[in-house]
């Protein structure tokens, strides 16, 4: 089965896989195009259907519990090609267990473990962005932040900032996927997908204050370190290099 | 209640008047904000605590900020330490003359003071940009403890009420300040801390002649009682204002005075048990002043010792160990070559090997190479089938350390002698991952007369 790379697409894929009524070991789910074709396999395209996806989501939530559902959502935010297969087989394994709600504890099962790993990576990266995301104030007072995460974490981090900065207008921009999260002051936030044609980077004009506070923080960042304890290795472990290009204090 | 509020306002007004006085007395009062921030963060950097954890609070939609139970680090400095809070002193002027401190009275360093407005503005502007998680405000003692505490109070009061800041605030309680002030500040702050400075009263007497152990423990006890009392109030009245909801912490300097690790651990254990502290921080002594009473540290701050103390601290708080188990009068210091848990396990081989599929959680937690997370995962995963070594590896157990102490299904991973010497040799052979010195950045000249290693080995053999 080949399905679309989205929550809806993969849930539809799981629904259709169950419809086949074949042993689950013989059905595989892959996301987008598979680059290495399997021998003796029949490939079937499946297009996302909302009602099918909703049914699968409801079943997962009811049978496997909130914990497993969140883990699946996180795992599906990953860019790895085997995520669809892992989630599908995990649902199969979970539904056959006696204690269905405890499915995430069964790390002996390779598929459940894979989902656990993918979900952990997404959760960790989401947390990194909660830590390291940097807003810059534009001329019109809007806070604007850029990021380039490996996993599609934007939906996991915006609620945090919406709760934190309720009275601010802010935009979080995933520059790899061209997704914008917009939060108007005092209202709910929403997502917008850009068409990738405009290059907003050139049009951005920062406010007068922005440079001042950026410099103040960079200065603070340097004076707060104790020279005698210098430890760049530890710094690199805690703050991976790939996040630094978006961070004020490293620019 | 109304009476109390009025009272607060009065004293804030009082402070303002006296603040104006301060400005006149300062010589360098035309300093730029950048210079001030430089001086006052540089002076605050030796305070270890920068955590923003312990309290989870949603924003109420009318101001700015929330807090996360686990805390958030926003950056990591060149020393690898987390930068979570805007860590600054209110002023680095000080009437005390503590020998280890850069801000002591007799030092000739540039002095500066913030105004409450500057502090609020910096905090809010940094916070909006997601640079920081909140404010850490400490201070040198200006005129008197009470006076200093009033200054801190005014800044925090303004931040909370005028700027409606709901993020994390950590303030220092100044030893010797009036209990009433400590109480009022506690109602605004998330975490308070009183620094123990040195592990024993003798140490304090020799290096900080103006500070007294009793003055440090009094506010600590007061905060503890305030927190307990407040918890009872909150169960009764849900909207009672919370007092220091993230608990209190303290720190002590390690390596400036001759205390043993055993003494330090006993002090820490007592603080956890009798004062309900959230955290005790250990700070490797950094020599900033020349003084005949201070030790010379040619090898830099005693980072390894600090690291071992933290490891042991974790064993106390999360692994169910007691200080007495790890060290004793006869063996007062930690092993340089082995972490405290492995060291303990080697002295208690009679309790090993442990069967992973049957042992209870607390027993598994005591195996070297298995941490809290791995232990929890093991206990959960084995409900749906027995585990083998391959599963353990994937769960996250460090097998190269654990393999000497565990069995899976009654078998050990390799045939292993249960001998102290044999296992010690193997454990030391596996290079321990230390958070410093192995970053490829620090080099040491190889030398035939490598006198740094010698005493380390000798100490290891003796201990």
Q: Chain centroid to CA B66: how far?
A: 22
Furthest-apart CA pair in chain A: how many Å? Answer: 66
C-alpha dist (Å) from residue B308 to A130, B300, B342, B461: 31, 16, 12, 17
Q: Which residues of B touch A229 (CB under 8 A)?
A: 79-81, 284, 286, 300-301, 303, 436
Distance CA B42, CA A222 (A): 9
Please choose, from the candidates B405, B420, B419, B401, the residue with its C-alpha nearest in 3D space to the C-alpha of residue B461. B420
Q: Where are the domains of chain A?
A: 2-126, 133-250
Furthest-apart CA pair in chain B: how many Å? Answer: 78
Find all residues with CB under 8 Å of B10, minimum gap 6, and list them: none
* Structure tokens given for B73: 């680090």
A135 Cα to chain B: minimum distance (Å): 4
Name the helix (H) or strand (E) containing A61: none
Distance CA B157, CA B358 (A): 55
Distance CA B228, CA B243 (A): 9
pTM equals 0.85
Length of chain A: 251
Q: Which residues of A touch B53 (CB under 8 A)?
A: none
Nearest chain B residue to A185, by CA: B61
Are the beta carbons of B45 and A225 closer than 8 angstroms? yes
Distance CA B138, CA B145 (A): 12
Crossing angle for the helix pair B340-347 and B420-429, nearest 10 degrees? Answer: 160
Question: Which candidate in A108, A111, A212 is best for mutational testing of the B interface (most B CBs within 10 A)?
Answer: A108
Express each pLDDT in A219-240 by its tens digit.
999 999 988 888 888 899 899 9
Distance CA A99, CA A96 (A): 9
Q: Where are the domains of chain B?
A: 32-244, 340-456
Q: Chain centroid to CA A156: how far?
A: 7
Nearest chain A residue to B442, by CA: A231
B218 Cα to chain A: minimum distance (Å): 30
Is B156 in a helix, a strand, or coil? Answer: helix
Strand-pair partners of A2: A30, A45
Express each pLDDT in B9-31 by its tens digit.
444 444 444 444 444 444 445 78
pLDDT beyond 90 at A105: no
Are the beta carbons of A209 and A137 closer than 8 angstroms? yes
- Beta strand A179-183 with A190-193 is antiparallel
Crossing angle for the helix pair A50-59 and A7-19, nearest 10 degrees? Answer: 80
Find all residues with CB under 8 Å of B35, minimum gap 6, and list them: B112
Express each pLDDT in A85-97 by its tens digit.
899 999 999 998 8
Express each pLDDT in A146-176 by its tens digit.
999 999 999 999 999 999 999 999 999 998 8
* Structure tokens given for A182: 């917009």
ipTM, 2 dp: 0.89
Q: pLDDT averaged over consecutive 10-residue blocks of chain B (463 residues)?
A: 43 45 50 90 88 86 89 91 92 90 89 92 93 93 92 94 93 91 92 91 88 90 92 84 91 90 93 92 88 82 90 94 92 90 92 92 94 93 89 90 91 86 86 60 46 54 55
């Amino acid at each position: 089965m080949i399905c679309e790379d989205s929550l809806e697409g993969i849930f539809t894929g799981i629904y259709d896989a169950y419809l086949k009524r074949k042993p689950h070991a013989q059905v595989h789910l892959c996301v987008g195009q598979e680059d290495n074709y399997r021998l003796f396999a029949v490939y079937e395209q499946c297009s996302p259907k909302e009602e099918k996806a909703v049914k699968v989501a409801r079943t997962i939530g009811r049978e496997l519990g909130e914990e497993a559902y969140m883990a699946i959502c996180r795992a599906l935010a990953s860019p790895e090609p085997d995520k669809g297969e892992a989630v599908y087989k995990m649902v199969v394994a979970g539904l056959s267990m006696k204690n269905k709600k405890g499915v995430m504890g069964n790390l002996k099962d390779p598929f459940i473990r894979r989902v656990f790993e993918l979900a952990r990576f997404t959760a960790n990266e989401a947390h990194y962005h909660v830590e390291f995301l940097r807003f810059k104030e534009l001329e019109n007072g809007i806070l604007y932040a850029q990021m380039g995460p490996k996993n599609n974490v934007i939906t996991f981090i915006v609620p945090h900032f919406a709760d934190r900065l309720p009275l601010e207008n802010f935009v979080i921009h995933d520059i790899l996927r061209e997704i914008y999260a917009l939060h108007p002051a005092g209202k709910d936030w929403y997502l917008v997908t850009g068409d990738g044609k405009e290059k907003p980077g050139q049009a951005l004009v920062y406010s007068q204050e922005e440079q001042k506070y950026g410099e103040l923080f960079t200065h603070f960042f340097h004076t707060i370190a104790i020279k005698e304890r210098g430890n760049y290795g530890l710094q690199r472990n805690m703050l991976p290099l790939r996040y630094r290009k978006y961070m004020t204090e490293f620019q | 209640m109304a009476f109390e509020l009025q009272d607060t306002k009065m004293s804030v007004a009082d402070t303002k008047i006296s603040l104006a006085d301060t400005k006149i007395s300062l010589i360098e009062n035309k300093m730029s904000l950048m210079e001030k921030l430089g001086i006052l963060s540089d002076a605050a950097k030796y305070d270890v605590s920068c955590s923003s954890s312990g309290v989870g609070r949603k924003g109420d939609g009318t101001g700015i900020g929330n807090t996360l139970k686990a805390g958030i680090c926003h950056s990591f400095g060149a020393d690898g330490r987390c930068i979570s809070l805007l860590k600054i002193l209110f002023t680095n002027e000080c009437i005390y003359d503590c020998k280890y401190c850069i801000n002591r009275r007799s030092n000739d360093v540039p002095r500066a003071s913030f105004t409450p407005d500057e502090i609020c503005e910096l905090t809010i502007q940094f916070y909006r940009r997601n640079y920081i998680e909140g404010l850490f405000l400490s201070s040198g003692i200006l005129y008197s403890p009470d006076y200093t505490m009033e200054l801190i109070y005014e800044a925090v009061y303004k931040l909370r009420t005028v700027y409606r800041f709901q993020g994390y605030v950590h303030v220092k309680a100044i030893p010797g300040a009036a209990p009433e002030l400590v109480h009022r500040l506690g109602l605004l702050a998330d975490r308070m801390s009183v620094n123990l400075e040195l592990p024993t009263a003798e140490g304090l007497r020799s290096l900080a002649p103006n500070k007294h152990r009793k003055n440090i423990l009094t506010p600590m006890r007061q905060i503890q009682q305030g927190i307990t009392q407040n918890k009872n109030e909150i169960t009764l009245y849900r909207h009672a204002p919370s007092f220091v909801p993230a608990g209190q912490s303290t720190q002590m300097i390690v390596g400036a005075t001759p205390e043993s690790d055993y003494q330090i651990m006993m002090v820490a254990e007592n603080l956890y048990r009798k004062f309900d502290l959230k955290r005790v921080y250990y700070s490797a002594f950094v020599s900033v002043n020349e003084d005949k009473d201070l030790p010379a540290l040619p090898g830099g701050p005693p980072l390894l010792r600090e690291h071992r103390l933290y490891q042991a601290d974790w064993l106390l708080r999360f692994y169910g160990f007691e200080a007495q188990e790890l060290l004793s009068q006869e063996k007062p210091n930690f092993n340089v070559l082995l972490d405290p848990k492995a060291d303990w396990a080697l002295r208690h081989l009679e309790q090993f090997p442990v069967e992973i599929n049957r042992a209870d959680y607390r027993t598994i937690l005591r195996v070297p190479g298995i941490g809290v997370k791995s232990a929890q995962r093991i206990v959960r995963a084995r409900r749906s089938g027995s585990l083998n070594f391959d599963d353990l590896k994937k769960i996250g157990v460090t097998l190269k350390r654990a393999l000497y102490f565990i069995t899976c299904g009654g078998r050990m991973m390799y045939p292993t002698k249960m001998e102290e010497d044999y296992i010690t040799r193997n454990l030391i052979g596996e290079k321990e991952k230390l958070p410093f010195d192995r970053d490829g950045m620090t080099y040491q000249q190889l030398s035939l007369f490598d006198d740094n290693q010698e005493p380390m080995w000798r100490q290891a053999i003796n201990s």
